[in-house]
Amino acid sequence: MNKPGQGGGGAAATTAAAAAATIHRQRALLQRADADIANLIDNFAHMLKAARVNDPVRNAQENFQMDIHASRVVQAADSLLKLVSELKQNAVFSDFISLNECIAERAARFEEQNSDTERLLLSVGEELGASLVELETLYYKSLQRLSPAEHQAQE
């Protein structure tokens, strides 16, 4: 049921725009995931390189670098956890689009069933009315309704 002056093309354009936005968002999230994973791996590799030094003079410097890389690993892991949370939210909220489409399809089917039922009820009502008129005619002409004098006159 479109309101007067509303076209059906607006819904298709909105759906296409939503789909494009979803694809763009998914690409951005995938790029972010790749960057976070690469950052995590790089910092972990730097930590392992720093752990190999056994020179007492360089140990303090290497310990400091290990602390820095460890904090970066923690930051990258935290970023990945936030990304996972965003992906979960995205999956939940983007599913509303398909849910709304399903609801719209069901509403259209119910509207069609409603109009079919209304047509069927109208035809049943018309048949019932015609049958009732026929039955009334037969009832009023029946022998049971005639007085005994009228009954003898018909025989």
The token pair that represents 125 in the structure block: 């009502």
Residue 10 lies in a domain: no
Count up the domains in the chain and report the number. 1
Residues 131, 134, 135: CA angle, nearest 5 degrees: 85
**How many CB atoms within 10 Å of residue 50?**
20
**How many CB atoms within 10 Å of residue 36?**
19
Residue 2 lies in a domain: no
Nearest CA to 37 out of 7, 81, 1, 2 is that of 81
Residue 48 lies in a domain: yes
Residue 66 lies in a domain: yes
Distances (CA, A) of 121 to 113, 118, 126, 132, 135: 12, 5, 9, 16, 20
Q: What pLDDT is attached to residue 4? A: 43
Residue 153 lies in a domain: no
Q: What is the pLDDT along the chain (155 residues), one digit of tens a residue?
A: 444 444 445 555 666 676 777 778 878 888 888 888 888 888 888 877 777 666 666 777 777 888 888 888 888 889 888 888 888 887 777 767 777 888 889 999 999 999 999 999 999 999 999 999 998 888 888 766 556 666 566 65
Q: What pLDDT is attached to residue 3? A: 43
Residue 57 lies in a domain: yes
Residue 51 lies in a domain: yes
Residue 128 lies in a domain: yes
